[in-house]
Amino acid sequence: MRIQLAAMVAVSAAALIGGTLTGAHAHAAPEAADLATVLLSADDISERMDTPMQVISSESGTRPLTTPTTTPANCASVYAPGSAAGYDGSGYTDIVVQTLRQPGGEVSPNVVQAVAEFADAKAAQTYLNEQAGIWKNCKGTPFTAEYTNGMTADLKAGVVTAGGLELVATLFTNPMKGSAGCERVLQAKNNYVVDVRLCNDTNPGGKGRSLRSQIVRNLG
């Protein structure tokens, strides 16, 4: 399955991004242009979600994303991996972001997987620590994410857990519909940050953490 990214990707990066991915296998630690190779393929994501999923090229790329728009703004990076709200001014040196949804589907189920590179492990850890404070300030806050195609997601940030190299949050649909919602995970590994959101209409059931773990393994 070929990853679709924004047209501004450099030729060398595009060759890697367009390659076939095998998310079940570990990769060597990537160079800056190789970040896309550690993401899981659409086929792998489809298998994990038990439904066909496809890359949304307008919400994928090699720079922080400005869509969706999240209100209130202090919850923007809590909802959206790889967002400009989370990464602009953070000191990252490279990033790749990929969004997947069902073909012609609604806003949920969806998956966003991103990897950001920083100058060193200390910078990556500093970023995670800063995000921990932001996420905790959003806890218990209802928020709305608005997409350019008119779709919206209404959620409420639940428990935020920060420990060591990992940051985890549960986002519930608002109003609540059973255990439907999203798993939000951020993890630092060396000078990289893995940034993941997985949402579905039932119970994410640890799938977001599992996706994060596979990407971390792919980093080598």
Residue 106 in any domain: the answer is yes
- The enclosing domain of 130 has a CATH number of 3.40.1000.70
Residue 189 in any domain: the answer is yes
In our burial notation (b when 16+ CB lie closer than 10 A, e otherwise), range 198-215 reads bbbeeebeebbbebbebb
Residue corresponding to tokens 């630092």 = 188
What SS3 state is found at 123?
Answer: helix
Residue 112 in any domain: the answer is yes
Q: How many domains does the chain have?
A: 1
122's enclosing H/E stretch is: helix 121-138
Going from the first residue of the chain to its last (220 residues), give the mean pLDDT of each consecutive group of 10, the final group possibly shorter.
34 34 46 81 97 96 96 97 98 98 91 98 97 96 94 93 92 83 96 97 89 95
Residue 148 in any domain: the answer is yes
Res 7: pLDDT = 32
Q: Residue 157: which domain range? A: 55-219
The structure's pTM equals: 0.84
Residue 174 in any domain: the answer is yes
Residue 88 in any domain: the answer is yes
Residue 187 in any domain: the answer is yes
Residue 149 in any domain: the answer is yes
